[in-house]
Amino acid sequence: MNDTIRIVVVGSGYVGLVAAVCFAEMGHSVVCVDNDQQKVDALRGGNCLIHENYLPELLERYRNSRVRFTSDLAEATREAEAIFIAVGTPQSGSGIADLSYVEAVASEIARSLTTYTVIVEKSTVPVYTNEWIRKVMERNGVSQNLFDIVSNPEFLREGTAVRDFLHPDRIVVGTDSERAAMVLSKIYEPLTDGSYYKQPDAIDGFCTSHKPPPLLLTSTKSAEIIKHASNAFLALKISFINAVSNLCEAANADVEQVAQGMGMDSRIGPRFLRPGIGYGGSCFPKDVAAFRCVAEQLGVDFALLSEVETINASQKTRFLDKVRSALWTLRGKKLGVLGLAFKGGTDDIRESPAIELIQMLITEGCSIQAFDPAAMARAEQVLLSGPNLQYMQDAYEAAKDVDALLILTDWAEFSHLDLQRINRLMRYPIVVDGRNLYDPNLMLENGISYFSVGRPTKHHVQEFATVGSH
Ligand code: UDX
């Protein structure tokens, strides 16, 4: 039996809430703190506010036992052996991470500490943050032997967050204190010793031949950099393949074949080589910008990161140009849009390339019929429906009477549409796919002209003959 540690998680966003219920699943006793009382009440009532696999089940399993929700950080702090700070670090105008939430939490912890507690940075923060947290503690008169600081970055992805948390590739623990390293090792022991995966009701336990994850001990600063560098590297991979896809278009080659050939080199690997309309979400855009700012502040020339951002932004305008080249002019065109979320499997629209593209298309004078399996409610909060934008019930309704159908999010269900039905519904059988979900030949066989990313365009000869025949 592993030891139970009393853990406080501050913040009930993606990282905080997932961490809280997963620590409970690993056998620990958890208090999850949020200063938004409405959120606290919702979570207490079992409403998890986030669209994420396994999260409702775990919340239901533990909300009346091992996980408690509160807005009282001071009280929670007094009971804690380890406090994980998982509050937001939004991007400020210049790109630099806004650490005011982290600072506010650190100050409140400092005012309430009574016994030795490990303070853990779980949010993605710049490399100097641990030093600032230490200063905040000292300025509030907290004795050095009452706390240690650990950087324990989280690598979970939206859509697979619970699984990623419980089955990580690695656990990074950055600290300069042996005592704190021991506490973190104890917390993660059910994963590192493999005992969690043997439990009969473990999430994805028996069904995977999961090797226990390694725990990598580093300095605090190295751990802070590992998180930023990992996300920036993944963003770089995406921008790289997007730049290659542009080259493929110019050379009339097929980027999918190129990515496949590159990915077979085990040094490169096949993942994160999917070309498209650019990366989005709450992490990559923010983290690449923050890492660029960190480099600037430290006087290091890391121009590569600016290039990653430039390629990502231009991928959207290139897609707009593609729609224009498929339709000649845009003003007055009616377009179906499949996908609003920044990627499939989530209702999150933060920094979603789909949302930005819809805004661009409306500015160009198009009217849009949009559908997303999960993100429409959130989208409606930023893109109000009106004469230029309607939200539809399903993909087929979105395709009805349109001049072209655009695929903007890689939802699995968009990759096996009934193409004959789609063809019959559209005014013109034209699909512009920003996610390369289809084999171009299949589209052609179904009488659809198909424009995708980094692959030769397939024009259906009947495209114009079918005008008005639906
Ligand atoms: C990412 C990191 O993967 C995760 O480790 C970190 O903790 C948080 O940020 P997430 O934002 O949930 O996770 O999404 P991810 O699946 O990584 O995708 C990010 C964006 O890149 C999406 O817009 C996705 O569509 C895009 N993407 C991803 C590509 O365009 N091509 C790819 O090959 C992979």
Long-range contacts for 162-166 (Cβ within 8 Å, ≥24 apart)?
Answer: 162/18, 162/21, 162/22, 162/52, 162/53, 162/54, 162/55, 162/58, 162/203, 163/53, 163/54, 163/203, 163/204, 165/18, 165/19, 165/22, 166/22, 166/25, 166/26, 166/191, 166/196, 166/202, 166/203, 166/204
Q: Which of 123, 284, 319, 351 to mutate to test the pocket of ligand 1 (most atoms within 8 A of CB)?
A: 284
Q: How do residues 92-131 score in pLDDT, each as one tens digit?
A: 888 888 888 989 999 999 999 999 999 999 988 889 899 9
Torsion of CA 399, 405, 410, 416, to 10 degrees: 60
Does the reported pTM lie above 0.90?
Answer: yes
Question: What 3-state DSSP class applies to 335?
Answer: strand
Q: Count other C-beta atoms under 10 Å from residue 238's C-beta.
A: 21
Residues of the chain with CATH 3.40.50.720: 6-218, 219-470
Is 283 one of the catalytic residues? yes
pLDDT of the residue at 207 = 52
How far is residue 187's CA from residue 184's CA, in Å, rounded to a whole number?
A: 5
- Indicate whether residue 276 lines ligand 1 (CB < 6 A): yes
* Contact indicator for 196, 241 with CB cutoff of 8 Å: no
pLDDT of the residue at 1 = 59
Going from the Cα of 256 to the center of ligand 1, the distance in angstroms, rounded, reads 18
What percent of the chain shows pLDDT beyond 90? 86
Mean pLDDT of 144-163: 95
pLDDT of the residue at 214 = 97
CA-nearest residue for atom 33, ligand 1, is 272
CA-nearest residue for atom 15, ligand 1, is 157
pLDDT of the residue at 468 = 41
How far is residue 296's CA from residue 355's CA, in Å, rounded to a whole number?
A: 30
Mean pLDDT of 396-425: 98
* Contact indicator for 69, 36 with CB cutoff of 8 Å: no
- Neighbour-count burial for 8-22, b at 16+ CB within 10 Å, e otherwise: bbbbbbbbbbbbbbb
How far is residue 14's CA from residue 86's CA, in Å, rounded to a whole number?
A: 9
> Which CATH code for domain 219-470?
3.40.50.720
CATH 3.20.20.70 holds for 6-218: no
Q: What is the ipTM of this complex?
A: 0.98
Q: Look up residue 84 and give its amino acid.
A: F
pLDDT of the residue at 457 = 82
- Binding site residue list for NAD(+): 34, 39, 89, 124, 158, 286, 350
How far is residue 428's CA from residue 401's CA, in Å, rounded to a whole number?
A: 8
Q: Could you tell me the pLDDT band of residue 470, with boundaries at 50, 70 and 90?
A: very low
Residue 266, judged by CB atoms within 10 A of its CB (0-12, 13-18, 19+), counts as exposed
Structure tokens at 33: 């703190």
How far is residue 150's CA from residue 116's CA, in Å, rounded to a whole number?
A: 14
pLDDT of the residue at 331 = 96
From the list 248, 283, 293, 366, the catalytic residue is 283
Residues facing 271 on adjacent strands: none
* Strand-strand pairing, 404-407 and 334-338: parallel
Q: How do residues 62-94 score in pLDDT, each as one tens digit?
A: 998 999 999 999 999 998 999 999 998 888 888
